Amino acid sequence: EAQVTQNPRYLITVTGKKLTVTCSQNMNHEYMSWYRQDPGLGLRQIYYSMNVEVTDKGDVPEGYKVSRKEKRNFPLILESPSPNQTSLYFCASKWGANTDTQYFGPGTRLTVL
Amino acid sequence: AQSVTQLGSHVSVSEGALVLLRCNYSSSVPPYLFWYVQYPNQGLQLLLKYTSAATLVKGINGFEAEFKKSETSFHLTKPSAHMSDAAEYFCAVSVPYFGNEKLTFGTGTRLTIIP
């Protein structure tokens, strides 16, 4: 089954404790992206990757890091989480063109205390 | 830069009634437009998309949307609402240029169906 998986689905942590949210897709997509969803703000892009070893900032990159060492994986790293990073996070992937459908993971609900 | 405005953060309709969710876009170049649906505790899935072919686009679950350039709109409609349509709906825009072919999302509209 074609899918985007994320782990963990739920995470409660404390300020300053480094964490990683994993994302994996099995569709051989080139483009991958991370979004955060906050009430009243919709989804905002954090980082994206056009292909392996190619990553760049989206609209709200502060406090986040990413890496793309393999085509299928695109982990999101919070080196020192803060309460304002409490949010619902989605990973997405697509082939690459503007017209392509983005496929979304199930989401990771992160709470930073 | 492109942007999307969704009018009405909450919309309630009776079962069997017309569903109309509004979306207006802003873009300096011809855009590609998408509607995504998010069911509770799930990720987003594509309902339909406009990619400069036919202006009336049909999607899954009986939804359709019409691209109107003169009104810069891409409203989502369904003739008869079903209880299973209760969800949050997001309009999104993408512009064709090499680089970050990202989606820019609206703030979402939560659709409630009244039995």
- Largest Cα separation within chain A, whole Å, is 40
pLDDT of residue B96: 67
- For residue A10, give how far its alpha carbon lies from the nearest alpha carbon of chain B (Å): 11
HEC states along A20-70? Answer: EEEEEECCCCCEEEEEEEECCCEEEEEEEEEECCEEEECCCCCCCEECCCC
- For residue A17, give how far its alpha carbon lies from the nearest alpha carbon of chain B (Å): 26
**Range with the largest mean pLDDT of A29-43, A76-90, A94-108, B17-31:** A76-90
Q: Looking at residues B74-85, what average pLDDT do you find?
A: 97
Q: What is the pLDDT of residues B8-53, one digit of tens each?
A: 999 999 999 999 999 999 988 888 999 999 998 888 999 999 988 7
Cβ–Cβ contact A74 with B under 8 A: no
Q: What is the pLDDT of residues A7-61, one digit of tens each?
A: 999 999 999 999 999 999 999 999 999 999 998 899 999 999 989 999 999 999 9
Are B77 and B35 in contact by the 8 Å Cβ rule? The answer is: no
Cβ–Cβ contact A95 with B under 8 A: no
